[in-house]
Structure 1
Amino acid sequence: ASNAAWDQRWDTAIKEYQRALAEFPDDISARSGLALALQESNHFEKALAEYKALAKLQPGDPIPLAHVAVLLERLNRRAEAADAYNQIAELYQNQKQMNKAVEAWRKASALEPERAEPHEKLAAAFAEAGHASAAAREWLALAKLAQRGGEFLRAQQYAERTLAVEPENTQAKFLLNEVTGRSAAAADPGANPVELARRSSLARLAASVLEENTPWQRADNTHAAGADTDSLLARAINAQEKGQTQEAIQAYEQALAAGMTRPEVQFNLAILYQNSLRHQDAIPLLQQTARTPQLAVASRFALGQSYRAQGNVDEALENYLQAMKIVDLSTVNRSQADQVIRLYESLAEGYLAKGDEASARRFSMILLDFLNNKGWQDKVREVREHVELATAAGMPLSMQEVFETPESERVVTLLRGSAELVSEQKLYAAGDLVYQALELAPNYLPAHVRLAEIAVAAGRTADALAKYDVLAETAAVRHDLPKAIAFYRQALNLGGSDVTRRAKLINVLVQNGQLTEALTEYATVGMELETNGQFQKAADKYNEGLAIAQRVGLSNDAQLPLKRRLAITHLKLREYDAARALFLEIRQADPEDDEARYYLVDLHLRRGQTAEAEFELRALLERHRNAPENIEATLVSLAEAFPDNLMIQRALADFYKSQGDTDKALQVLDDLGDRLLNAGKPGEAAIVVQEIIALNPPQVAEYRKLLLELREPQAE
């Protein structure tokens, strides 16, 4: 059987192993061989049965189970495969082989991402090994699983554990904010953020009174002092729950004075101050609690209310915007977070720049009404879906702008319906819904974007381009630069070369401070001009981009791609000195830039600087000493560009000699000798002939005769 398996005669091996097992059913070697033969013959179900039998015969060996797991994966039985990997991990864990155990848990987790057990095991293993960041990743995964399963308290615990290790973990902060609001909302889904936070923080404080060694106590507190603090906290909670505002305020103030620093205490006291119209006292406390993730939305909302009560519209709006930003961020994934943050910053700057108190006040009321509205969390998710559709269409959008839109709920519903109709290719009906939305909100940009989408779907590219141009210019006039950028990009994505539109995009990118992206667009414009043969215009564009980069102090690394294109353009314009200066600069900045060294060889040869060319060539070839195919490509390219250059042609011949390819070396030298003779350079030709003779070709006698002729004195 072993011989048959060795020769890969699997059918024969199967029969022989089965015969052996009929006599010795517990023979591990025979069963292992049979399992392998069945697997190699693509009898996966039978192989699986044999490996399972092996696993029972060898309960402490993870190897048979590993085969079981692989076969289950191949059969697409993912849940069973995950079970197998979990068993493998436990075996390795028992054997103290934690690296292998971790790998098995990772495979189990990849197969069944919604299963908590592998994440729990991984988190414990990483924590025990001191790999805090890796453990935090698993805790965050567990928090998300618990959140999706509606286990908000459990999700909160895992998120808090993540933040204990990584205090700046954005996803954990957002998730914690979401689940603390959700768990409190279970009692009353109609409550606003402040009321939800008040209840949840009060519940946490009440629970903590029952614990010993409460974490807010100062390190130098005595047991008696701790007992006094507990008593103050219990008194404050009791008074607050009974509506005894002044008594609660007094007890909370005394607790803070005694050294208690819990944000829940500060928040509850701030809300009590606010209810007593002591806004000036509430504001500093709320500014502190706004830094606590689970209280951030409520604190910002409450700050907005206090500032509004004081008549400070700008600060009120700023805090309402911050509250909405946090809510918005809690519904997006990490890759979208930066874009959402930029959108809110742009909106805030826009309102402040307008200096229009009436607009700011009106918008503050819109937000206030929304956050006080029953079921506001569900509406956030509905609006987020709409926002994501807009983003997918290339338009950055914030929830903020949706709420600001007249008849926003109706508009969102109409646009959702139009999206479904577009996907069904019912373009006329989709357009009709969009126009209904525009009747309600004529300036709502996502509706105009949908019209552009419909035009593209209908094959009316010119109409779509015109629509995107108008949208981009409108956004730029409104100083909504992220949208202007998005609209120009959408237009450019429709295909074709458009230097003018790309130049407008560059201007907006520069205005928005996205200078690295602007340089990339300068390079694209330049290359389009090069493609059209407009090399001088291309060089002008490259120089324009570099001037901006140097003016604002962009790093040399960011400038290198543009410098490289400019240098190549100088070459095409035969401006060799300018090209050489740039390539020297590029090579100085990046000694491993092969392209720069190649062009420097080219430029030195054009200028007759053989020694300098040889220096650059040696450095270039040295970098590729272990990649002969790269050396050959480089030398062949240079040899074609400089067919009469003795140094280059000899370098190519030497390369072929080093590779043992004498025929190619002879061909290169023979062709070079002919060209030198035709060019009237007998001295250089004689050197080449000597090298040919050294290779001892079949016609060596003829080459020796030619060498004698070349060495004879020439008649005057």
Structure 2
Amino acid sequence: MTERQEVFEESMRLGHSAAWDLQWDRAIEYYRKALSLKPDHPGALTSLGLALLESEQYEEALKVYRHAGKLSPEDAIPVEKVAEILEAMNDHKAAVSQRKAAVELHLKRRDVDKAIDNWTHIARLAPSDLETRSRLAMTFERLGRHRESVYEYLAVASILQRLKKVDRAIEAAQRALRVIPGEKESARTLRMLHQGKELPPPPEPRGATAPLRMEAVKDFVRADSIDDLAVEDSAKADPESVAQTRALTILAGLLFEDDDGEGQDNDHPVDIGDLTTGRISKERESIGHPQMLRYLGQAIDLQTRGNKRQAIAEFERAIQAGLDHPAVHYNLGVILKNMDENEEAIKHLDQALGHPELDLGANLALGRLARMRGDLPEAARFLLQALRRADSLSVDESQSGHLNELYDSILATQSDGDETTLSQIVESTLSFLSGPEWLQRLRQARKQLEGQTKGASLVPIAELLEVGGTERVLQSLARIDDLIANKHLSVALEEAMLALDLVPDYLALHLRMAEVMFLQGHSSGGMNKLRIVAKTHRVRGQIAQAANIYARIIRHSPIDIVARKQLIELLAQQDRVDQAVEQYIDLAELYRQMAEIETARKTLNDAYQLCQRSNVSREVVIRILDRMGDIDLSRLDWREALHNFERICELDPSNEKSRSNLIDLNFRLGQETEAANALDTHLENLVNAGQAQEALTMLEDLAREYPGKQALHSRLAEAYRAAGRIADSIAQYDALGEIQLDAGQRQEAIQTIETIIKLDPPNIEGYHELLHNLRDGK
């Protein structure tokens, strides 16, 4: 990478970082610096435009976006941004005109969803625009979105009545009735038209909102960390609310690509404008999620405005479009819970269990819901899980494993408690974790326990709340550990089985039994025991513990495909995406070794798609794409291989293997222009790296492998001339001239012969004669 390119990319990164922090003046400064190096770079222009727009420098932003639009006339984004600026300047007529232009660009690319977005903006600005409302109605009807279609047909009827075209208004109302027969509003509208009554004015489209602004969302979701909660009174909140704020922060990050420098690994600069319009980077867009993020943006905007009912609908549409993230499920679950839609709330909250930042809130919310419906055993289970997660905040990370075992013991001993005991657990735990002072209570409780034990063994806060009763179990566990350490394996197994009579559901005992079985050489018994424990953890909603057991299974049996798939799913559910992706890569390699190539390819593609939903390092993404490309080459699927190597070169222009494959595949596919472009980039990289001889050798190899390619002969001739090998250069130019003459490219051949003559070949008279004949048309 050249120094100029490095300065450009660094300026873009700094600009994005400043934009995320809402420091627009700094962002503008960095983007202008980037543009001084590449004045017509589309990403830099649109990023500068966004920064100017957010800082309300509308006139300047308008100029920048219009310039970007001239450079990329097929790109609808600058057109949409011009519309947004004009709307902010209250020039609604001009904004509508720009939105209509954007619609046509999207329709040309057959992107109906984005066309609908722009029609919706038009209808919001100009509710009586007959053409737009008609196109919306017909498009919704074709897409099977019948409710929205009816809504728009009725708006059309209202517009037509105001234009004194009552017959056509009646037709529009009848069309609405054909879409949903018997629909009450359609029938009422048709009746009013027949009676000559005036219809209400056409309303705005459902779910229509003004363009989502970055600052508004960041203001809404900005939240301090848990540690800060203990310090600043203004930030104190119930754990359920804290988790919801964190969920919204995560969701906003999907829209705005948090560019704080963590995990970026020198990625190429992303167009910050893409991030605030619900769009995503080119890599993400390739897997088809722009629609999902548009719904998400609308949902967050509606939620910030307090329109919860419509926000629920948009969140559900985002989920249906592919947004399967614990954060969206948690946020939606809490909204539904607060609106007393408890059954639906439970479904979504269940899917947030296990996420490290949402698990406490999810268990607390589910415990409260179970208590409301009188299910005390279920409420106790969820609330003890919430207390376990809260208690882990009060101890060192090195103690968390032991603390988990203690809570497993408590859960096991309480599973069959009587109603009075369960009620005490529920009420004491709920009281402890509820309200704004929960974190202060947590720290005071831990301090009290440490003062009582004075360095003795760790005690869970549950014991302080009188939820314990586990002393016999823990004593038994200590004896088993001592027996295992002294190699008394059979006795240890017997002791574990006796302890299970007291607490059959205590999973730590089952794990000790599995450990003994492995030490005794009974691997199949140990594996079966681990599988049962993992499944039980999962049923209980203990996602992290289940993942740890599946990881142990894989360590014992790396070829256990079922366990690896379960582990991947659980890691992704906890947002441990880096680890999930590595497991995908290992699974793909396992399939490859088993000669299941198609399955290996699909597994790698699953890994790649998971990468697009998180901030996985560039090196890992390249590794996945490289393996996919290699498999495509082995299957002779050259076009798919080409696609993967192109994506690698976008991420890492200096990647020699991918660039070489790009050149080779384009030549194989007969795409000589694309091959030449890739070749020029690769040659430039080699020369800049001081590898001129390697560049020449590569050209010679390619010319032998693909004889008759003009792009190769011309570049090889030039390389020979630069190296002082004039005779070799003339020979290549000579071959190039013959190819051009055979192809009927007279003017190109004339230029080639003129170049040869400048090199003063031995038989220069013959070349002069040939040049004369060509110019005379002979």
Say yes or no: TM over 0.5: no
Larger of the two Rg values belongs to structure: 1
Q: Which has the higher contact order (CA 8 A, sep 6+)?
A: 2
**Smaller-chain TM-score bracket:** 0.3 to 0.5
